[in-house]
Structures are given as C-alpha cells and as structure tokens.
Amino acid sequence: MPSSTSSFKTYELKRIVPNHHWVLLAMVTVALTVALTLGWELYCRHLGYAPSLNDTEDLWSSRRTLIDEDPNRTVVIGASRVLFDFNLDVYEKAMGERPLQLATVGTNPGAYLQDLADHTEFSGTVIVGVVPSLFFAPGGPPAKSPENHLKRYRGWSPTQRMGHFLGMILERRLSFINQEDLTLKQLLLKLKLPERKKFKAHPDLPPYFYQVDEERQGSMTDMAENDIVLQKRIQQIWLPLFRPPPSPEGKTREQVDADRDKVVNGILEKTKSRVDKIRSRGGKVIFLRLPSTSELRDIENKYTPRADYWDRILQITAASGIHFEDYTELSGFDCPEWSHLSKQDAAEFTRRLMPLFQDLRKAGEM
C-alpha cells in the first residue's frame, strides 16, 4: 500500500512492443516446437508407448453422470483389480446390460458406495471390488482419491466438460500425452536423486502399467504384459504397499491392534448402513474378491486374513459375495505382477464369473 497521496493514478497505461519481427519469431518458434514435439512423440512410440486415454477425474465424471440419466444401471466400484479384471463386453454379452465402470486405482470404495446410497433414485446393482487393505484403509490417499473424483463430478462445469472432450481427441492420437508416466514431473522423478538420511520417503507407487478406454474399461498395457523386468519391478513395489505401516512411536502392539479393530468395525458399520440404504430402494450390492497371487497373496493372507475382513463384510451386510478362492473355475489364474490379470485372462475370468452372476440374478440377488 503506497503511502504517498501524490497522484490519482500511479501506473502508466502504455504497452511497448520490443523492436523485433514478432511474426517471424512466432513462426520459427511454432515450427521448432512442432518439430520437437513430433520428435518426442516418435521417441515415446519407439519406447513402446501407445496413445491411450488418461484416467482422469473428468473421465470418471463423464461416466458418473450416466447414473443420473439411468439410475437402474449396474455400477462397478472398487480399486484397480475390478477395474482391470472385470470385462464389460463379456458381462454385457452374458447379462444383457452394460455396467458403468466407476472403480479407481488405489482407492477405498466407501465414498463411492455412500454416493450411490445417497442418490435418491439409484436402484441398480452395485458390484464392489474388495481389496481388503484398501477397503479398510482409514484415510490417506485411498480415501482422498474417491473424494476428489466425487468433488469433480459434483462441480463439473461446462468448461471442464468441454476440456475433457477436447483432451480425449488429443489423447487418442498422441502417445506422449500420458499423465501417469510422461509428464515433466514424472520424468524428473525418474532421476531418482539420493535422499537425506532422515527423510522418510513415501513408498514407491507402481510405474505406468495400465490404460483405460472411453468407458473406463481398464487393462494392463502391452508393455506391462510382456516386459518381465517391469513386472518384477511392480511386484517389489506392491510388497511394502500391502504391508501395514510401522507402529507409531510410543504405542504398544495391543494399542495398535485395538485402533485397527476400531477402524475396521467403523468401516463395517458404515458399509452396512450404505448397503441397507441402497437395498431399501430396491438396489442390490454384490461384493467381489478378485485374484492376487504369489508373495502378494501371502502378505494379504497374513495381514488381512479372510476371516477377519472378507467374511465379516458378508456377515455384517448380509450381501452376496464371490471370492475367487471359493470356486475352482476362478482359481489358478496367474497375475503377471501378482495383483492384476492380463487382458486375455481378465476376459476369461469374467466369462467364468458370469454363471455365478446369473445364479445370483435367478436368486433375486441382483
């Protein structure tokens, strides 16, 4: 706040144009930028990247709005396993309707279930993919991600819709438009600079290994399906992510267990109330446990044993559930990176899942 009272206006309204041939400079700049961008595009394709849609909050919102148009639709929510492993084409062929895919990677689906429970007209079927460590995550990124998606959908402005539409046109044609792996931020992260001794780094997240289409049908990229080195890298990234964090300082094992039980019970209660609300309008809820393999499955069995988590969900909500280990036809699939099925296996898995869904339909469970 200038304290002088000498003049009514301090700024001078003029704009000097520096003495250069600006049209020529602009043309050379555009030509260089286009050439460099094309070079980068070719290099990305050479590395194995292909054009694919970014799995953005806008893309999610574009699917979520469809529930408002048809509140009887079947909706899939959960985390990446149900996003990759549940094939919409196969489901449509067997069940005669196309579900909406609203699962998002690394998320606790509680907020999505709440959103459907709060929808005054929704009376469709909800298929909930359960990854116990995420389903029972008390907060942090697994809880924040669905909140952000829902926030985007609730305030989805005309300009954001238009931006999404235009963005998809470019994403379908250019492989370097890849927010998972090829942004400047991601490229800088690949430098892997040494950290200070006392810096507590967050566990690594897996590198780019999945893609979605316009309907958000997720699948592993060809690179991830074929590159064994990449698969092994992702496997090693899963292990710390699926282990519980170290106990906070000053807390005994018993206190930590008691805290965890409190969180689990709270989530179970909320899940029951959400399921009941959906059912009260004639909707159905089916829980689905999809395959994981090898060391990752061992860790899940150790830290999120079925009896304490999966079984309790079904027991408390009295909803139907399908666990891949309960059916021989669903067992025995190999997950290349221990957590998700390949494209081909995902289609086959869904095909084998369909008779079970048809039985549920006959029983009036969906």
Partner 1 sequence: MLFNSLTFIVFFIIVLGLHYTVRSWRVQKSILLAASYIFYSAWNPPFVILLWVSTLVDWYVAKALGVEESQAKRKLLLSISLLTNLGLLGFFKYGEFLLENFVEVIQLAGIPFEAASPNIILPVGISFYTFQTLSYTLDVYFKKAKPCHSFLDFALYVTFFPQLVAGPIVRAIDFLPQCLKPRRATRDQFGWGLYFVTLGLFQKVVLADGLLSSPADTIFSHSDSSIYFFDAWLGLLAFSAQIFCDFAGYSTCAIGVALCLGFILPDNFRSPYAAVGFSDFWRRWHISLSSWLRDYLYIPLGGNQHGTLRTLLNLMFTMFLGGLWHGASWTFVAWGLLHGSYLVVEHLLRQNFPDIEWVKTMMGRFVLGLFTFILVSLAWVFFRAVDFPTAWSLLGSLFNFTGEGAQLLPTLEILQVVVVLAGLLSSHWYLHEKRLEHAVQDMPGWWIVVVWTAMLCTLILMQGGGNAFIYFQF
Footprint on this chain of partner 1 (rule: CB under 8 A): 1-5, 8-26, 28-29, 32-33, 36-37, 40, 56, 157-160, 162-163, 166-167, 170, 177-179, 182-185, 187-189, 191, 193-196, 198-201
* Of 73 and 161, CB closest to partner 1: 161
Beta carbon of residue 174, minimum distance to partner 1 (angstroms, whole number): 10
* Of 178 and 317, CB closest to partner 1: 178
CA–CA dist 231, 293 (Å, integer): 13
* Of 184 and 307, CB closest to partner 1: 184
* Of 123 and 148, CB closest to partner 1: 148
Beta carbon of residue 293, minimum distance to partner 1 (angstroms, whole number): 32
The token pair at 193 is: 């600079």
Three-state SS at 322: strand
Beta carbon of residue 28, minimum distance to partner 1 (angstroms, whole number): 5
* Of 17 and 307, CB closest to partner 1: 17
* Of 221 and 317, CB closest to partner 1: 221
Give the C-alpha distances (Å, rounded to integers) separating 211 from 173, 302, 324. Answer: 14, 30, 24
* Helix H or strand E segment including 219: strand 218-220
> What are phi and psi for residue 322, nearest 5 degrees?
-125, 120
Letter string b/e over residues 98-122, b meaning 16 or more CB atoms within 10 A of that residue's CB: ebbbbbbbbbbbbbbbbbbbebeeb
* Of 39 and 305, CB closest to partner 1: 39
Beta carbon of residue 107, minimum distance to partner 1 (angstroms, whole number): 18
Beta carbon of residue 241, minimum distance to partner 1 (angstroms, whole number): 18
Three-state SS at 140: coil
Residues near 102 by Cβ (< 8 Å), separated by ≥ 6?
60, 63, 64, 75, 76, 77, 112, 216
Beta carbon of residue 58, minimum distance to partner 1 (angstroms, whole number): 9
Residues near 64 by Cβ (< 8 Å), separated by ≥ 6?
100, 102, 149, 150, 153
Beta carbon of residue 195, minimum distance to partner 1 (angstroms, whole number): 5
State the DSSP string of 273-296: HHHHHHHHTT-EEEEEE----HHH
Sheet holding 284-289, edge to edge: 100-101, 75-77, 125-129, 284-289, 320-323
* Of 10 and 328, CB closest to partner 1: 10
* Of 191 and 229, CB closest to partner 1: 191
Beta carbon of residue 210, minimum distance to partner 1 (angstroms, whole number): 18
Helix axes 158-171, 57-69, angle to 10 degrees: 120
**Residue 325 CA, distance from chain mean position:** 24
Residue with tokens 């989530």: 267
Beta carbon of residue 138, minimum distance to partner 1 (angstroms, whole number): 15
* Of 33 and 226, CB closest to partner 1: 33
**By the 8 A CB rule, do 318 and 358 touch?**
no
Beta carbon of residue 80, minimum distance to partner 1 (angstroms, whole number): 20
- Nearest of 77, 62, 36 to residue 278 by alpha carbon: 77
